[in-house]
Amino acid sequence: MTDATRPGGPALPQERKLVTAIPGPGSLERLDRKKAFVADGVGTTLPVFVVAAGGGVIVDVDGNSLIDLGSGIAVASVGNAAPGVVSRVQEQVAAFTHTCFMVTPYDGYVDVCEQLAQLTPGDHAKKSALFNSGAEAVENAVKIARVATGKDAVVVFDHAYHGRTNLTMAMTAKNMPYKHGFGPFAGEVYRAPMSYPFRDGLTGEEAAARAIDVIDKQVGAGNLACVVIEPIQGEGGFIVPAPGFLPAISAWCSANDVVFIADEIQSGFCRTGAWFACDDEGVVPDLVTTAKGIAGGLPLAAVTGRADLMDAVHAGGLGGTYGGNPIACAAALGAMAEMREHELDRRAREIEAIMRDRLSALQEQHAVIADLRGRGAMLAIELCRPGTTEPDAARTAAVSAYCHAHGVVTLTCGTWGNVVRFLPPLSISDELLREAFDVVAEAFAATT
């Protein structure tokens, strides 16, 4: 199929169009089937069944066209069915689908690792290992740090999200829904206070001193393999640490033989207006975990970092049946080419300008918007009872529900469920983005 005839991708009409209620009759019918055959534990934010997506829209079975401000949780950053991804995937899927890189290797895997070495922060010698999911990348980063340092303990932060496997559940902060009833969890995981400017009012240096004191007194550098941190927290509420916090934590790690691991799974690949969120303050992590935006929607994840650390692990110690699957690697090469070709880091900053403008105007009109934060095409608003820092999860849910009913895909997040986050695909047009924020504005007016 050519670009003009294939069902998804940027050739889809870029419009918000509602022809039924949301969800419509076709989606409702399918929801019954979902109820019958899919485990209830697998939730749904906006229950329309999708038939096509691209540019800045998602089209459902009933013919509704919704504006996408979620990118499938920061995954479809280059846009759904992006031409550069589709063509490479089609070529690869017709050539071969799987050999297992650990059995018989292929170029795509090495190409992705070479690009990761070039694109991730720092110009030192770097190597990578590829996996299927973000959680798997985080687990492997911890494995590498433990072998390289000969130490066990792992430090993570308040509000952190690192995944749903046993070790990464232990590393994730929030109980419901991620951990509740799923213990016992992996040991030797310790939690330090995060820099959260809206709630703690501390400078980056002060917040780092507070965290380092906890780490030093409750764990001890002599036991600590790694500190794992999201440079901008994702699920925890798009919390941006105060300037100076990340550099101070990173410097302390370097001085104490502790591996500094940046979890850039949500913030990476042009999302924050730079290739990686760490770039903003010139922080160079020892290891970086990536996933989500890396492959335009195909499942791929990576640990990238200092060659000496990566090579500390014995042969056969890293891997997995599907890690670095050739189709996922082809998609990643296509996605990274799209990012470079369309300068999507710059595009994320343009998107930020439009969103920030609209959101600060809204903040002036609605006292419930207590904080506006984030970077690039990764912005969020935190909703609190006016004049307080008391979370308003009910209003957050109401605003989001209004957006859904009116054809805009919004996501919420935050430890208290009181944050609306905006993660549009970087392929969205200015017009569509503005229309989406008209709906967000209506949502605040309609829910007072």
Ligand X SMILES: *Cc1c(COP(=O)(O)O)cnc(C)c1O
Q: Which of the residues 266 through 295 are near ligand X (CB under 6 A)?
A: 266, 291-292
As measured in angstroms, the least distance from the Cβ of 66 to ligand X is 22
Residues 374 and 440: their CA atoms lie apart, in Å, by 17
Q: How far is CA 57 from the centre of its chain?
A: 19
Where does this chain touch ligand X (CB under 6 A) — which range of 134-142, 145-153, 378-386, 427-435? 134-142
* Cβ distance to ligand X smaller for residue 11 or 186: 186
Residues 106 and 361: their CA atoms lie apart, in Å, by 51
Q: What six digits make up the tokens of 438?
A: 């008209």
Q: Select from 60, 62, 158, 230 the one that contacts ligand X (CB under 6 A).
A: 230
Cβ atoms of 392 and 412 within 8 Å: the answer is: no
* Rounded CA Rg of the chain: 21
Site string for ligand X, 162-191 (x = CB under 6 A): xx----------------------------
Q: How far is CA 325 from the centre of its chain?
A: 21
Q: Select from 68, 263, 280, 371 the one that contacts ligand X (CB under 6 A).
A: 263
Bridge-based pairing of strands 259-263 and 224-229 is parallel
Where does this chain touch ligand X (CB under 6 A) — which range of 32-40, 151-159, 227-235, 342-350? 227-235
User: Does residue 161 bind ligand X (CB under 6 A)?
Assistant: yes
Q: What six digits make up the tokens of 19?
A: 């022809």
On the CB side of 125, CA atoms within 13 Å amount to 5
As measured in angstroms, the least distance from the Cβ of 234 to ligand X is 4
Q: Select from 121, 134, 376, 425 the one that contacts ligand X (CB under 6 A).
A: 134
* Cβ distance to ligand X smaller for residue 46 or 261: 261
Cβ atoms of 299 and 292 within 8 Å: the answer is: no
Where does this chain touch ligand X (CB under 6 A) — which range of 49-57, 108-116, 131-139, 188-196? 131-139
- How many degrees, rounded to 5, is the angle at CA 328 between CA 60 and CA 344? 70
Cβ atoms of 267 and 276 within 8 Å: the answer is: yes
As measured in angstroms, the least distance from the Cβ of 42 to ligand X is 13
| DSSP reduced 3-state for 46 | coil
User: Does residue 195 bind ligand X (CB under 6 A)?
Assistant: no
Q: Which of the residues 292 through 331 are near ligand X (CB under 6 A)?
A: 292
* Cβ distance to ligand X smaller for residue 277 or 369: 277
Sorted by sequence, the CB contacts under 8 Å of residue 74 that are 6+ apart come out as: 234, 266, 271, 292, 293, 378, 423
Q: Select from 80, 92, 133, 415 the one that contacts ligand X (CB under 6 A).
A: 133
* Cβ distance to ligand X smaller for residue 22 or 171: 171
| DSSP reduced 3-state for 421 | strand
* Cβ distance to ligand X smaller for residue 234 or 424: 234
User: Does residue 138 bind ligand X (CB under 6 A)?
Assistant: yes
As measured in angstroms, the least distance from the Cβ of 159 to ligand X is 11
* Cβ distance to ligand X smaller for residue 10 or 299: 299
User: Does residue 412 bind ligand X (CB under 6 A)?
Assistant: no
Q: Select from 135, 192, 348, 403 the one that contacts ligand X (CB under 6 A).
A: 135
As measured in angstroms, the least distance from the Cβ of 186 to ligand X is 15
* Cβ distance to ligand X smaller for residue 76 or 135: 135
Please state, in angstroms and as integers, the Cα–Cα distance from residue 348 to each residue in 173, 287, 308, 384, following that order. 28, 24, 33, 27
Nearest-CA neighbor of 247 among 239, 255, 237? 255
Residue nearest to ligand X (CB): 134
Please state, in angstroms and as integers, the Cα–Cα distance from residue 307 to each residue in 124, 148, 287, following that order. 8, 11, 10
Residues 410 and 51: their CA atoms lie apart, in Å, by 19
As measured in angstroms, the least distance from the Cβ of 231 to ligand X is 9
Sorted by sequence, the CB contacts under 8 Å of residue 146 that are 6+ apart come out as: 152, 225, 226
Where does this chain touch ligand X (CB under 6 A) — which range of 143-151, 155-163, 188-196, 314-322? 155-163
Q: Which residues bind ligand X (CB under 6 A)?
A: 133-135, 138, 161-163, 230, 234-235, 263, 265-266, 291-292
